[in-house]
Amino acid sequence: MKTSLYRHFNKSGDLLYVGITAKLPMRFAEHQRRSEWFFDVEYVTIEWFDDRSSAKIAEGRAIRKEKPKFNILNGAPEPKDKKQKCAEDNKTVFMKVRVTKQEQAEWRDICRALGQDFSAVVRDTMQRRAASIKRKQEVEQ
């Protein structure tokens, strides 16, 4: 199942939190209810992975290297075996995007009004954009 790795940043560009989920709107709503830092978020970056295990490995690496202020797993361990490290190095990322809190809210409202799953809409949109960029690059070559 496609899984996102997301990073929450404040106005100053400080990394507040890194996480993974297959259901962005639900996870963001949970952060809003439970996380003291959520209302300091100015923008979010999102990377998509083909499966949860690849995203989980990338999350651990991001937490260790980038040291987000509010992650509990700041001491996430290094991959234990060569296969796990190899999987991390061969991750599939469609593209990174910055999304403001206002954009998140607008997209969530639109999806809710249309009865569509926010995560699926974001995934589909990013995949179409990636395909468009690839076609453009092929034409330019």
Question: What confidence tens digit (pLDDT) does each residue in 73-100 have?
Answer: 544 444 444 444 444 444 444 455 667 7
pLDDT at 77: 42
- Is residue 29 within 8 Å of 69, Cβ to Cβ? no
pLDDT at 105: 79
Amino acid identity at 41: V
Amino acid identity at 101: K
Stretches in the chain below the pLDDT threshold 70 = 73-98, 129
Which range marks the domain in which residue 25 is found? 3-140
Strands, sheet with 15-21, edge to edge from the N-terminal-most edge strand: 15-21, 3-9, 43-49, 97-100
Percentage of residues of the chain with pLDDT beyond 90: 28
Q: Is 119 helix (H, G, I), strand (E, B) or coil?
A: helix
Rounded Cα distance, 71 and 69, in Å: 6
pTM: 0.56
Rounded Cα distance, 26 and 42, in Å: 19
**What's the number of domains the chain is made of?**
1
**Cα-trace Rg, the chain:** 16
Residue 140: C-alpha distances to residues 13, 118, 129, 134, 135 (Å)? 34, 33, 17, 10, 9
